[in-house]
Structure 1
């Protein structure tokens, strides 16, 4: 069966290249982001500010998406992400991103990850 939201598979590449403009292309204007146990961030502009703050805090990220599940208007990406800290040390942790889609864009973006050892 052909996947409806295959275009979202390249979101990790945009994140890993710290291409904020490209990341925001995946999001609806009224998107909601909840990362880990953090507060909800409402709206594409505010989400952009979150990523603008996060990108300089790490040297790089490398996502390895190992599983993709799609059902109706929901999409799940699961895998590992390797963070290279500013001191060049690395941390690899599992993640699971859950996306609710609307009109081909991400309207709800949930990041399930344990960042407790990152900083």
Structure 2
């Protein structure tokens, strides 16, 4: 699941990304306001992906206790001027009936 999830993000395939989400998903990215609901999360993530030229995740480790998926790694953002920024990240995802019901991204993207 984790590989396919990040592949959908890294290729900016917003529909494939949305297929991982529960209808009532809660999403929190860095210090941005929390977003609720699949359609709203899809729109918010799509807007973010359009604000950058590219994105690439390197997952360094992941754990899957009970109904959670926890991972950490390095994400590289490519800006529209072709400069890039790499930062560490940690994500927690709560999985309910095979879908992500709570998705939290911890990363400092203030330099982006």
Give the TM-score taking structure 1 as reference length: 0.91
Moved over 3 A (4+): none
Counterparts of residues 3-82 of structure 1 (less than 5 Å) = 7-82=1-76
Give how far 1:107 is off. Answer: 0.1
Name structure 2 gaps, 5 residues minimum.
none
Which is greater in Rg? 1
Report what 2:86 is aligned to.
Answer: 92
How far apart, in 2, do the equivalents of 1:97 and 1:86 lie? Answer: 25
Which digits, 9 at most, give the CA deviation of each residue in 1:23-57, with x for residues without a partner? 00000000000111222100000001101211111
Give the TM-score taking structure 2 as reference length: 0.97
Report what 2:106 is aligned to.
Answer: 112
| CA-atom RMSD in angstroms | 0.8
How far apart, in 2, do the equivalents of 1:51 and 1:36 lie? Answer: 12
